[in-house]
Amino acid sequence: MSTPLGKNPGMTEKDWHAWHGKYDDPTSSLSRRLAVVQARIRAALDDVAAGPVRVISVCAGQGRDLLGALEGHPRADDVAARLVELDPANAEVARRLAATAGRSGFEVVTGDASRTDAYDGAAPADLVLVCGVFGNVTDVDVEHTIQALPTLCAPRATVVWTRHRRAPDLSPSIRTWFADAGFDELAFDSPGPGRLAVGAHRFGGEPRPLPEPPQRLFTFVGYDELLSR
């Protein structure tokens, strides 16, 4: 979850492979957030009609959220997923973990998840994960990405998203933007003192085709850079 896509020129490089080590610390806020995300993924899978389940993961990182949620889940073998991740090291970890778990329906793409053409052949999906994105892009790009989500969603698809809640807390606006884009809120969790929010929304509108020519959903600025502005 979360790797820089559409980076600004001159942006300070960050070791996103090492950053994922925080998920191994059960006391970390990211570990707590991961548990909530996985719970929301499992709930979404419970709600999908019988048959294949299509999943898209934007900024997939090492795929720990989806892979962890599928462990022991009765719909695990129904899942066909596209995980889009720019960082080659994280993408390779995701491939290895998926192979070890026997997830033959997983396609891990090393590519730019900010571009809509990264999802050709995978959209519309029944579950869309946008985890580790909204805290690393501008408010304008958060809104733009939400407005574009109907191009990735099948009818009644669930979108699971995350963001920090540091001041100014953008989560109220995010929830409103989802409503404006045709989504109904299923859950909003803010686990632990780290003030990390997890939201789940169901798409109630009609899917739209992916745009032609392809569009950029967001430019990855980075959490640290945004805080310094």
* Blockwise average pLDDT, block size 10, the chain, 229 residues: 39 53 64 93 97 98 97 98 96 97 97 97 98 96 98 98 92 97 96 79 96 96 79
All residues at 6 or more sequence positions from 6 whose CB lies less than 8 Å from its CB, including other chains: 112, 114, 115, 216, 218, 219, 220
For position 80, what pLDDT does the model report? 98
Q: Is 96 within the bounds of a domain?
A: yes
Instruction: List the structure tokens of 46.
Output: 């419970």
The per-residue pLDDT for 189 is 94
Per the domain annotation, does 19 fall within a domain? Answer: no
Q: Is residue 187 part of a domain?
A: yes
Residue at 18 is within a domain:
no
156 in a structural domain: yes
Q: What integer pLDDT is reported at residue 176 of this predicted model?
A: 98
CATH number at residue 134: 3.40.50.150
Residue 14 falls inside a structural domain: no
φ and ψ of 123, to 5 deg: -95, 150
Q: Structurally, how many domains does the chain consist of?
A: 1
* Boundaries of domain holding 93: 28-228
9, part of any domain:
no
Peptide bond before residue 211 is cis, with ω within 30 degrees of 0:
no
Residue 170 inside a domain? The answer is: yes
